[in-house]
Structure 1
Amino acid sequence: MRMNKMRTWLLTLMVLFNGAFIFAQNSTVEISGKIVEENGELPIEFATVLVGDNETKKPIVGTTTLEDGSFSLETTATNFYIEISFIGFAKKTMDNPAISNGKIDLGTISLSEDSQQLDEVVVAGEISQTEFKLDKRVFNVGKDLSSTGASALEVLNNVPSVNVSIEGAVSLRGSTGVQMLINGKPSAIANDQGNALGTLTADMIERIEVITNPSAKYDAEGTSGIINIVLKKEEKKGLNGAVTLNTGVPNNHSIGLSLNRRTEKFNLFSQLGFGRRTFPSDDESENRNLVDNTSVLSRGESDKNETFFNIILGTDYHINDYNVLTLSGHYAYEWEKENSDASFDFIDAGNNMTDSYRRIELTTATNPKYQYELQYKKDFEGNEDQSLLLSATGNLFAKDQSSEFANTITLGDGEDNEQLTRTDFSQAEYTFKADYTHPFSEVYTIETGTQYQINDVANDYAVSDLVNGSFVDNESLTNVFEWVQKVLGVYATGAYEADKWGVKLGLRLENTDLATLLENTNEESKRNYTNIFPSGHTSYKISDNFSLQAGYSKRIFRPRLWDLNPFFNIRNNFNIRTGNPNLLPEYTDSFEMTSINKFGRITLNLGVFYRHTDDVVERVTVFEDNVSTSMPANVGTNDLTGIEFNAKYMPNNWLTITNDFNYSYFIRKGIFESNSFDFNGNQWSTRLTSKIKLPADVDVELTGNYRSSVKTIQQEMSDNIFMDMGARKKILKGKAILSLSVRDVFASRIFESVTSQPDFYLRDYRKQGRFVTFGISFGFGKGEAMEFSGQKHF
């Protein structure tokens, strides 16, 4: 009896004990509090609050703080710790916090800045890095000091393999014919009309993708490859931004503003720039007739004054976790005023000046540019790499320009005269795209899509001569040129990418419908053609420090407006550049292989490439009555073989050295108007950059550039050596930055070409000189101080 009672009591105690234990296990503890900065007690948004198991040290549950720094979360654990952290601040940990009535109220918790962690973050963010993908290289734009106050063209000049001439012409591995994209799409901002890339500033750019051998996914345009400029789109919650003020010589003043507002559903982003800058230039030209030993010499100065304004506005609407709708627009406006003063001297066979006149020019222009895009992206549940992207983009660019020319006789029997020119130019470009990506597994992926692009351009150009006191149109130099091009493309690619080895094959089909019209003379040309563009890429990872890449693609270069338009600027009546409406596209087969090597603090990349081009487009110059006329023509074939070398060395934490070297050898074969243009040549370029971190939070950057001379069919471009430098000082704990930039330190960057033929000799020379910029930037909210502001290129 007693034993039965004891068993009953024991059973009752066990039930009560287990019930209490189960109740304790299932009871919920609510944890709340607020996180602020120790200095100033500003709330910290997106700080991480983690509940972890005291025994295993593994996380149990976590959350992030709201805009006011507050947080709240629940847990059923009994033996836990709470950890609070945020990047740039010292971590705080609380073991076994006291529970009162099922709640833990941590109150207001202050986090102090971690100076060591902040320094590590700053160093990582300042150095521009290059990543290698299966079919492209990605240059993540850092805060390069010599780019302070720089435009997109000047940032491009820091990208390995890319060069930008003093006239703004972009080349890749020494070759022109580069397709420029903005956010993966054609844009009026990135075309070659009016140097529009100058309206993009360095602070707007997140990364630059260099695609020397594009896959079939990309537009086949561009024989040298594709350069894609990806703009920043901040997504920090709350209101964030930065403002920058720049000033400099010659006449370089601007202000830049960046604003971003992020909510749960919307991300509103904007960039704003306004400024004024002068581009002085010294120009010389010589036209020498080797038959009668007469010549025309021209020397002059010009200054181009540009006042510009640009704004980017956009919003992302997150419909849900898998659907995002984006609407964005970019508007830029330029006011141009250019003064030019040049003398033209006529020299006879005895080296005596027989005639001379002074030519004064005043040119004014307005250039509005618009870009807008509507994009829809759908991700798929259960596969983060599967996506559908639909987009429609519109680009509009216009130029309303007028010029006044006055010739004043200074020697000889000629008469003073005046001329006027008028340009009414407009370009509309519309692109519609659909891209679908479907991974079948972790290693197999297919991509397919289509693109339809419409270019509609009109150039109304008139030249008027002063006759008997009134201006009369010169009919031989006045016309309306229209150019309409429609390109429809479809593509498919398949890729296998494992840990060690990957391969990607693709095929693209493009149909081109082209029509040109000279309206006044009713001269029209129509052309319709279809091409297939295959591509193949592969990569093999031999070890963590050594990889190989290889690729092939077929490319096309379609003549653009200024290649086709037969009319020209009359600034210098003795050196004329004109277009050719009968120009055909050129086609290139491109092969390359690249190795990627890492040895401790050294990263080396060595590549070899080969390109064969048919129907090469070259400018051919004819000479008559001391007047040179340059016109593009399809002249034979070109076989180019080259090597490329990039190296980066970080011997310690305060010094980084990078080098970019490019060499190519080419064999030209061609006949133009029964004349042989067979010749061989080579060209090379190198860039050496040193980034130095000094005490007192001062950084210095020095960049030296050299480009060798290079031959074309008739010309030889002179070599060029120049240097840029920059310095930066952070103040107010990095919230404000002082910057100094000197581009072309020794004023040695020039453009010079010499054309030496049996019957004539031509020389053109241009120099712009040194540019010095001082800037200050300040970030607010969670925005960081910008290193750059709204500037034009030179």
Structure 2
Amino acid sequence: MKYVLLLFLFLFGTLGYAQQKRTTFTGKVVEKSSGQPIAYATVLVADNETKQAIDGTTTLEDGTFSLETNASNYYIEISFIGFKKKVLQAPTTERPKIDLGTIEISEDAQQLEEVVVEGEISQTVFKLDKRVFNVGKDLSTTGASALEVLNNVPSVNVNIEGQISLRGSQGVQVLINGKPSILTSDENNALGTITADMIDRVEVITNPSAKYDAEGTSGIINIVIKKEEQKGLNGSISVNTGAPNNHSIGVSLNRRTEKFNLFAQLGAGYRELPNEITVRNTDLTTGNTILSEGEEFRNEEFYNFILGTDYYFSPTSVLTLSGNFALEIEDQPSTTNFAALDGTGNETSAWERTEVTEARNPKFQYELQYKKDFEDDEDHDLLFSALGNFFGKDQSSEFLDTTISGEDRDAEQNTRTDFKESVFTFKLDYTKPFSDEFSVETGAQYILNDVSNDFEVQNLENGEFVTDPGLTNIFEFDQNVLGVYGTAAYEGEKWGLKAGMRLENTEVGTLLVNTNEANDQNYTNLFPSAHTSYKFSEKVSMQAGYSRRIYRPRLWDLNPFFNIRNNFNIRQGNPNLLPEFTDSYEVTGIFFVGKTPLNLGVYHRYTTDIIERISFFEDNVNITRPENIGTNNAWGVEFNTKYSPANWLTFNVDFNYNTFSRQGSFEDTVFDFSANRWSSKLLTKIKIPWDIDFETTGNYRSAYQTVQGEINDVVFLDLGLRKKILKGKAVLNLSVRDAFASRIRENQIVQNDFEVFNRSFRARFVSFGFSYGFGKGEAMQYSGGRRR
């Protein structure tokens, strides 16, 4: 018996000794030429004899890593695509924790072509409280804007009007580099001035933590712009042409020294955006119908200039100053043919309405940012930023109605718009790690928004233009939001938790100057958040999150005065709107089958005081106005994956389904109903010989019910083709968006006493471009901006 006991003690002691020999390696991987950290580099512990990997990990965004092993005869290998591998022999000392320090790896010129190939497919990376979509060179977005890039991001859709939705909801806040921007505001959505080549990554935050502004009920989309970090002069130039007319030239430059980083972008061009419109208004009581059909154009010259600099006081202290100026010169000719039909379908009159609109839209944006990294920990930092935005519109329109037959419809109208908006954002963020696992964040943000919209309508009466007081007014809008927040996070090897609270005070004031109608609101709200993740194994991880969000009515939700292009279909705002509040929950699983990632999530959103556009119908005139009509209860499931059955073939799949229940009423009408909607997206990339890539992106969005009618389903296909020349420094691109001209939007409103049918169609877009990168710059594509 004593021998058995001795054997047991021997085995136990041996096991304990083996366990004690486990070693944890830490370090940081950086680029040798610039000292910049390298994220997602591979760190392996491999057997000296078999050369097979024993343990491994990847570096974090700041280049750091932590790797544990109990190997005894091994070496350490660090590698990253486009860089030379670095091999470290096992340390001779045996300690439980060994710091390898800063490990420098340098570029491998022979791999540069492979870098381009590997980096062309966009990829999604999951973080504790967000998903990061690293933007590759997807061909269907060649020569395209940020809107087309967003349309390839899982969970995100951009409709034919350029409205962005996240998981089917349009209550989403779009940020640029983590801050609000004039480029993303509803009243002048100019995301097209950000081009696909300029975007480094898109962060999709469906349940934002308390660190982020609580605005946006369905979450936040943060577009992170590239900033070259290589020393010397780098840049690229591109030329694009397309049909309908879409021509542009763009230049990107970057000059970096030890202390300074100077960056600039210039762009100019011309484009046309035709839109075919059909609207049918039917009064079911009288049977009378107004039918309108026509084609609208938005022709535009655009100029864009960005200039900025980083100054490094020290390796841990940097000041950034940047500015952006853009000018759009618009010409909007349109012709609409109207017909009035009686209850039997006979035409009683016909007339033509023509429009001549000219506008100048200047945009300014400037930013001052200071970041301080403390020496005790690379994640210990302080960030202050001050951001100013200005947008203006000086627009005049002339409308002429000419009778073709029947009742006299001759008329003339003039409109004038003088619009000005200023937005100032001040933000302070502080992050303090107390250990490798535990950290806190705190900060504050103050946003001031000041808007004035002077709109006038004049009718020709007895040879003179007379102001229409019912359609003319000056609308002033002021909104100030002060927010403070605090979060705490624990992130261990397998389990992580992040929780926080945000307090926001909102002051809103609207005023119709001519009639002295005012509506002032002041409210304070708490916005809690919680996120957790657990890593069961290298193949299975889970994430869960909760956040409370707000959607504050924006300018065009509130402003009652709009362009009267079609005076039988008028869109208005409502100055008395209240904000929406949403409680959002989600659980996501991340699974690996071989090397194929499968991401499956379920989510729930409950929204109060939901805002819906309601149609009011009188004398065949349809007026739509937003109203708070009750609550929305939505459940959904989401799936996406990337699968590569061969080196030359890759599929990206995205699927989203949600069912929702609306309960509410307005005046005497009850709007209770339940419905569902779903969307799917398939991106296929094929590598062809002769250094040619071919790509297709297919989209389907189901029909779905609205509070008063139904939106049709939509299916469309985008194509892309690319040929690299001059050893990859230059690229020829061809892209076709909506290849089969099937992206048609139809909205039908059916009520007891009226029907409204609306159809809009924008033509197929074809773009061809040439781009060339010099220094260490990459070839880029520039296509200019987008506007409403």
TM bucket (normalised to shorter chain) is 0.7 to 0.9
Alpha-carbon deviations, 1:492-547, whole Å to 9, x = none? 00000001000000000000011110001111111100000000000001111211
RMSD: 2.0
Alpha-carbon deviations, 1:337-366, whole Å to 9, x = none? 111111110000111000111000011111
1:584 equivalent in alignment to 2:578: yes
Whether the aligned pair in 1 keeps the contact of 2:192 and 2:783 (CA below 8 Å) is no
Q: Which of 617, 621, 641 pairs up with 2:615?
A: 621
Q: Which of 213, 220, 228 pairs up with 2:214?
A: 220
CA apart distance, 1:790: 3.4
1:779 equivalent in alignment to 2:777: no
Letter in structure 1 aligned against 2:206: T
Match of residue 552 from structure 2: 558
Alpha-carbon deviations, 1:91-130, whole Å to 9, x = none? 999xxxxxxxxxxxxxxxxx99865x23431222211111
5 Å matches for 1:289-300?
A: 289-300=283-294
Match of residue 342 from structure 2: 348
**Stretches of structure 2 lacking an aligned partner (at least 5 in a row):** 1-31, 37-47, 49-78, 88-105
Match of residue 254 from structure 1: 248
2:234 partner SS: strand
Whether the aligned pair in 2 keeps the contact of 1:148 and 1:741 (CA below 8 Å) is yes
CA apart distance, 1:611: 0.4
1:720 equivalent in alignment to 2:722: no
1:690 equivalent in alignment to 2:684: yes
Change (3 A) 1:113 1:135: closer
Match of residue 729 from structure 1: 723
Q: Which of 581, 585, 592 pairs up with 1:598?
A: 592
In structure 2, distance between residues paired with 1:434 and 1:683: 40
TM-score for both structures, normalised by structure 2: 0.86
CA apart distance, 1:568: 2.2
5 Å matches for 1:291-690?
A: 291-690=285-684
Whether the aligned pair in 1 keeps the contact of 2:551 and 2:580 (CA below 8 Å) is yes
Change (3 A) 1:46 1:577: closer
In structure 2, distance between residues paired with 1:688 and 1:788: 25
CA apart distance, 1:792: 4.0
Letter in structure 2 aligned against 1:315: T
In structure 2, distance between residues paired with 1:47 and 1:732: 29
Alpha-carbon deviations, 1:237-256, whole Å to 9, x = none? 11110000001111111011
Match of residue 158 from structure 1: 152
In structure 2, distance between residues paired with 1:535 and 1:46: 38
Letter in structure 2 aligned against 1:483: F
In structure 1, distance between residues paired with 2:724 and 2:784: 20
Alpha-carbon deviations, 1:105-160, whole Å to 9, x = none? xxxxxx99865x23431222211111111100111111110111101111111110
Change (3 A) 1:322 1:611: same
**Between Structure 1 and Structure 2, how many residues are aligned?**
698
Change (3 A) 1:114 1:218: closer
2:147 partner SS: helix
In structure 2, distance between residues paired with 1:612 and 1:92: 52
Aligned sequence identity (%): 62
CA apart distance, 1:88: 5.8
5 Å matches for 1:262-277?
A: 262-277=256-271
Whether the aligned pair in 2 keeps the contact of 1:594 and 1:608 (CA below 8 Å) is yes
Change (3 A) 1:113 1:187: closer
In structure 1, distance between residues paired with 2:718 and 2:141: 9
Change (3 A) 1:610 1:46: closer
Whether the aligned pair in 2 keeps the contact of 1:152 and 1:793 (CA below 8 Å) is no
Match of residue 232 from structure 1: 226
Whether the aligned pair in 2 keeps the contact of 1:152 and 1:197 (CA below 8 Å) is yes
Change (3 A) 1:527 1:752: same
Q: Look at both structures and tell me which one has the larger radius of gyration over its CA atoms.
A: 1
**Stretches of structure 1 lacking an aligned partner (at least 5 in a row):** 1-43, 49-55, 57-84, 94-110
Whether the aligned pair in 2 keeps the contact of 1:151 and 1:793 (CA below 8 Å) is no
In structure 2, distance between residues paired with 1:769 and 1:187: 29
Alpha-carbon deviations, 1:677-724, whole Å to 9, x = none? 100000000000101111110001001000001112112111100000
In structure 1, distance between residues paired with 2:33 and 2:446: 43
In structure 2, distance between residues paired with 1:89 and 1:211: 31
TM-score for both structures, normalised by structure 1: 0.86
Change (3 A) 1:793 1:113: farther
Alpha-carbon deviations, 1:207-242, whole Å to 9, x = none? 111100000000000001001111111121111100
Change (3 A) 1:551 1:640: same
Whether the aligned pair in 1 keeps the contact of 2:190 and 2:785 (CA below 8 Å) is no
Whether the aligned pair in 1 keeps the contact of 2:154 and 2:640 (CA below 8 Å) is yes
Match of residue 36 from structure 1: none
Match of residue 64 from structure 1: none
Whether the aligned pair in 2 keeps the contact of 1:443 and 1:496 (CA below 8 Å) is yes
Change (3 A) 1:229 1:90: closer
Change (3 A) 1:629 1:88: closer
Alpha-carbon deviations, 1:590-620, whole Å to 9, x = none? 0000011112231110000000000010111
CA apart distance, 1:331: 1.4
Letter in structure 2 aligned against 1:740: L
Whether the aligned pair in 2 keeps the contact of 1:216 and 1:508 (CA below 8 Å) is yes
2:323 partner SS: strand
Q: Which runs of 4+ in 1 moved over 2 A?
A: 44-48, 85-93, 111-115, 117-120, 787-794
Change (3 A) 1:126 1:761: same
In structure 2, distance between residues paired with 1:789 and 1:244: 9
Whether the aligned pair in 2 keeps the contact of 1:500 and 1:542 (CA below 8 Å) is yes
Whether the aligned pair in 2 keeps the contact of 1:668 and 1:679 (CA below 8 Å) is yes
Whether the aligned pair in 1 keeps the contact of 2:348 and 2:407 (CA below 8 Å) is no
Whether the aligned pair in 2 keeps the contact of 1:636 and 1:668 (CA below 8 Å) is yes
5 Å matches for 1:133-144?
A: 133-144=127-138
CA apart distance, 1:647: 1.1
Whether the aligned pair in 1 keeps the contact of 2:530 and 2:547 (CA below 8 Å) is yes
In structure 1, distance between residues paired with 2:576 and 2:517: 11
Whether the aligned pair in 2 keeps the contact of 1:336 and 1:365 (CA below 8 Å) is yes
Change (3 A) 1:258 1:667: same
In structure 1, distance between residues paired with 2:786 and 2:187: 15
Letter in structure 2 aligned against 1:767: F
Whether the aligned pair in 1 keeps the contact of 2:189 and 2:786 (CA below 8 Å) is no
CA apart distance, 1:415: 4.4
Letter in structure 1 aligned against 2:410: D
In structure 1, distance between residues paired with 2:195 and 2:80: 31
Letter in structure 2 aligned against 1:661: F
Match of residue 27 from structure 1: none
Change (3 A) 1:205 1:481: same
In structure 2, distance between residues paired with 1:113 and 1:374: 36
